[in-house]
Structure 1
Amino acid sequence: MSLDLTATTAALAAATADLSRLLPGRTLDPVLAGLLLTADATGVTLAATDRERGVRLHAEAVAHTDGQVLVPAKPLAETLAALDSPDVRLVVEGSRLAIRTPGGRFALPLLAADSHPGVPAPPAAAGSVRGADLHAAVLPVASAASRDDALPVFTGVRLRAKAGRLVAVATDRYRMAAADLPWIGVDEDLDVLIPAALFTEVAKQARAAERVTVHADADRAALTWDSATVTTAVLASALPDEDKLFPRDVECSLTLDGAALAGAVRRVAPYAGARGAVTLETGDGELRVRGSDPQAGEAEETIKAGVHGNRVSRGYQAKYLLETLRWFGGDEVRIDIQPGIRGTMFSHVTAPAVRLRYLVVPLRQPN
C-alpha cells in the first residue's frame, strides 16, 4: 500500500467530520468501520459504507504519491479535529498511516483495503433541485418523521415528482408535514422513501450547492452535489397520499402572525399540565391560547387574528404547535381547522418558492 499527501488541516478535518455525520459508526466490522482514502492528481477522495449507506466526499490535497488506504474512521476524524497545525501530511509508513504535523506524529493501523466493498455508483438521475430549496424543504418536513425504528415507514421522508414539482412528505401519525419545491425533472415517476435523519444531514451539507441531483431505482436512492455522493437503501413502504389528509372541509380559518402565536404558546405551555395540552379558542378578531392545570395553575393569552367561519375550540400538544410554528418564523400564517379531531393545517399566507404545509392532529377532549 502507498499514499502520501499534504492537505489543509481544516479542509480534511471538515470532510472527515461530514462523512462521520452522514455515516455514524454502527458496525462492529472493522473493515466497514473504516475510511477509504484515495489520493490522486485531483486531491483526496474519502469513502465509507455500512452496506446500506455509502458516502463519497472529496477534499483538496496535493498527492505526492498516488494510492489508496483503509484506516479506522473515528480516530482519524478525532485526530484531525484536534490538530492546530494549518497543514497536515498523511503518509504510509510500513503498516501504519502516519498523520504528521511539524510538531507531531500520529499513526493509525492500515486495514485490508482489498476487503472493502467500496461505494457503488448512484442509480440513474431523476432530476435536480437547488441546494437552498432542498434545505428549506427537508428540515421542516423531516421534523415530523418518527424517531421510533419499530415502524420504519414513519421514519422516512417520501420524495416524489408531482405536477412538475418535487414533493417531500413525512409523518409520525400525529403530525404530517409536506413541502413542494421547484425542480428540473427527468423521471416524473420518482417516488422513494428516504431515511429522515440521513436526508436532514444531506440537506444541511448540500445547502450551498447550486444543484443537488436526486437518483433512484427500486432499491436505492442517492443524492449528489459538487463532488459528494450519498447513497442509501430506500425504505420499503410508501406513506399515505397527503392530499387525502389535508383540509377539504374547513370549519374555521385564521390568519395571524406566526411569531406572536409561537410566543403565546411558549408562555402558556408551563400551565399545560401532565398532558402538555394547550387550547386554541377563536373569538371576534382574536385567538385565545389557554392552559390549565390543578397544580400549575392557569394561563391565557390573546393575540390578534383574522377569523373566518365558526367559533371553535381545539386542544393540541404544546410541543407539536411549537415545533410547527418554528418553521414559519415571523411570517403570516394561515390555520385551517377541520371539524372534529381531523388535522389542523398550518401554511404560509403568501407562499414562498418552497411551499410548506404542516398538519397537527388535535387532542380528544376529555369527557
Structure 2
Amino acid sequence: MDLDVTAPTRTLAHAAADLVRLLPGRTLDPVLSGIIVDATADGVVLAGTDRERGIRLSRAARTHTDGRVLVPARPFAETLRNLDSPEIRLAVEGRKLALRTPNARFALPLLDLLAHPGVRDAPPRVGALDSALLPLAAVAAATASRDDALPVFTGVHVRQRGDRLVLVGTDRFRMAVASLPWRPEVEELDVLVPGNLLTELAKQADGAEVVLHADADRVGMSWPSAEVSSTVLDAPFPNEEKHLADAFDGAVDIAAADLGSAVRRVAPFAGAQGTVLLEVGDAEVRVRAMDQQFGEAEEAVKATVSGDRFTTAYQPRYLSDALQAFGSRTVRIGLRSGTRRSTVLTGVEPDPTGAELHYVLMPKRS
C-alpha cells in the first residue's frame, strides 16, 4: 500500500474540514469515521460516506506515487487545520500515513480500506443553475426544522416548474419559497432534500455553475471540484400555495434593512415571552417590545402603507431572519387578520438574477 503526494496545506485543510462538516459527527462503525485519501496523476481526492451521504472533493496536488488509503477523518482535518506550513507531504510509512512539513511529522493510523463500503456515484444529471443563486436556496433551507422527530419538516421540497426551480422549506412557524431560474435537463423533478445538507452545500459550492443530480432515491449536487449526494427524504410535504395568495387585509412597503435593524435594537427588551410588535400607522411601522424585567423600547421606521392598520406580534429571531433574507431591498409585507393570520414578505423590485423569494411568517398570539 503506497501513497506519496504533496499539496498546498491550506487547500487540503479546507477540503478536509468541508468533508467533516458534511458527515455526521458520530457513527457506530469506525470505518465510516474515516476519510479516503486518493492520490492520482490528476491530484488528490478526499472522500467519505455514512452510507446515506457520499462526498468527493478533489484538489490540485503533485503526486509522487499513486495510492489510496483510509485514515481517521477528524484527526486528519484537525492536524491540517493547525499547520502553518505552506505545503504538506502525505506519505504511507508502514501502517501509518505520515503528514510531513519541513520541521514536523504527524502520523495517523491506516484504517481497513477493504472494509469500507465505498462512496456511491451521484445519480444522473437533471439540470444546472448559477451558483450565485445558491444563497436564496440557503434561505429556504434555513427555515427547515432541526427536529428529527418530524423528518418531513427537516427537508426542503425541490421541484421543477418549467424553467424555474422552486425550493420550499418550513418548520411550521415560518416558510421560505425560493423560485430560481435554471436549465432543466429532465421533464419532471420532485424531491425532498435534507435541509442541513443543502445549507452546507450552498456555502461550499465553487464555480459559476452547479449541477443538480437526482433519481427516485437519491439527490446530489456537483461542481468542478466536488460531488455530493444523499438519500432523499420520503414523506409528503405540505402545499405552500394557500399561504402565498395575494388576498391581504393590509400591506407595508418598507426598507428591509431599516426594519431589520430596528427589530434587532428592540428585541433585547422582548423579555422571556420573546415578542416584538409591529404597529402599522399611516406612514410608518412602529416596532415595540416591553417586559416588566427588561423594560420597554420602540422605534418608528418610515413606510408606505395600504389597507388596514393593525398590530401584529412576532418571534423576533424569525422576523429578523426573514428581513435579512432580502438584504438592502424594499420588502412588501402582506398582512392578514382573522383565522388566516400568516404574513408574507416579498421583494418590491425584481431581483436582477431573475430569482424570486416569498417568506411566510406565522404571527404570535399577543
Taking structure 2 as the reference length, the TM-score comes to 0.95
Using the TM superposition, give the Cα deviation of residue 66 of structure 1 relative to its aligned residue in structure 2, in angstroms. Answer: 1.0
Q: What amino acid is aligned across from residue 13 of structure 2 in structure 1?
A: A
Aligned residue for 1:142, secondary structure, equals helix
2:140 matched to which residue of 1?
Answer: 141
Q: Is the 8 A contact 2:54 2:121 kept in 1?
A: no
2:165 matched to which residue of 1?
Answer: 166
Question: In the aligned structure 2, how far is the partner of 1:262 from the partner of 1:245?
Answer: 22
Q: After TM superposition, list the pairs within 5 Å mapping 1:198-347 onto structure 2.
A: 198-206=197-205, 208-340=206-338, 341-347=340-346
Q: Is the 8 A contact 1:99 1:105 kept in 2?
A: yes
Aligned residue for 1:32, secondary structure, equals helix
Aligned residue for 2:30, secondary structure, equals coil
Question: Residue deviations 1:143-167, cap 9 Å, x none?
Answer: 2111111111111111111132011
Q: Is the 8 A contact 1:100 1:106 kept in 2?
A: yes
Seen in structure 2, the aligned counterparts of structure 1 residues 295 and 89 have a Cα distance that, compared at 3 Å, is: closer
1:362 matched to which residue of 2?
Answer: 363
1:40 matched to which residue of 2?
Answer: 40
Question: In the aligned structure 2, how far is the partner of 1:282 from the partner of 1:45?
Answer: 56
Question: Gapped runs of 5+ residues in structure 1?
Answer: none
Question: Residue deviations 1:97-148, cap 9 Å, x none?
Answer: 11111112211111111111111111111101111112x2122112211111
Question: Gapped runs of 5+ residues in structure 2?
Answer: none
Aligned residue for 1:31, secondary structure, equals helix
Aligned residue for 1:240, secondary structure, equals coil
Q: Is the 8 A contact 2:24 2:50 kept in 1?
A: no
Q: What amino acid is aligned across from residue 120 of structure 1 in structure 2?
A: R
Seen in structure 2, the aligned counterparts of structure 1 residues 41 and 266 have a Cα distance that, compared at 3 Å, is: same
Seen in structure 2, the aligned counterparts of structure 1 residues 242 and 9 have a Cα distance that, compared at 3 Å, is: same
Is residue 177 of structure 1 aligned with residue 176 of structure 2? yes
1:99 matched to which residue of 2?
Answer: 99
Q: What amino acid is aligned across from residue 288 of structure 2 in structure 1?
A: R
Q: Is the 8 A contact 2:284 2:305 kept in 1?
A: yes
1:51 matched to which residue of 2?
Answer: 51
Q: Is the 8 A contact 2:278 2:286 kept in 1?
A: yes
Aligned residue for 1:26, secondary structure, equals coil
Q: After TM superposition, list the pairs within 5 Å mapping 1:188-203 onto structure 2.
A: 188-203=187-202
Using the TM superposition, give the Cα deviation of residue 90 of structure 1 relative to its aligned residue in structure 2, in angstroms. Answer: 1.0
Q: Is the 8 A contact 1:132 1:209 kept in 2?
A: no
Using the TM superposition, give the Cα deviation of residue 248 of structure 1 relative to its aligned residue in structure 2, in angstroms. Answer: 3.2
Question: In the aligned structure 2, how far is the partner of 1:61 from the partner of 1:322?
Answer: 43
Is residue 19 of structure 1 aligned with residue 57 of structure 2? no
Aligned residue for 2:345, secondary structure, equals strand
Q: Is the 8 A contact 1:246 1:343 kept in 2?
A: no
Question: In the aligned structure 2, how far is the partner of 1:273 from the partner of 1:109?
Answer: 52
Using the TM superposition, give the Cα deviation of residue 295 of structure 1 relative to its aligned residue in structure 2, in angstroms. Answer: 3.1
Q: Percent identity?
A: 53
Q: Is the 8 A contact 2:256 2:328 kept in 1?
A: yes
Using the TM superposition, give the Cα deviation of residue 255 of structure 1 relative to its aligned residue in structure 2, in angstroms. Answer: 0.3
Using the TM superposition, give the Cα deviation of residue 292 of structure 1 relative to its aligned residue in structure 2, in angstroms. Answer: 2.4
Q: Is the 8 A contact 1:247 1:344 kept in 2?
A: no
Question: Residue deviations 1:177-221, cap 9 Å, x none?
Answer: 011111000123111111111111111110x42111111111111
Q: Is the 8 A contact 1:219 1:234 kept in 2?
A: yes
Is residue 116 of structure 1 aligned with residue 106 of structure 2? no
Question: In the aligned structure 1, how far is the partner of 2:315 from the partner of 2:129?
Answer: 34
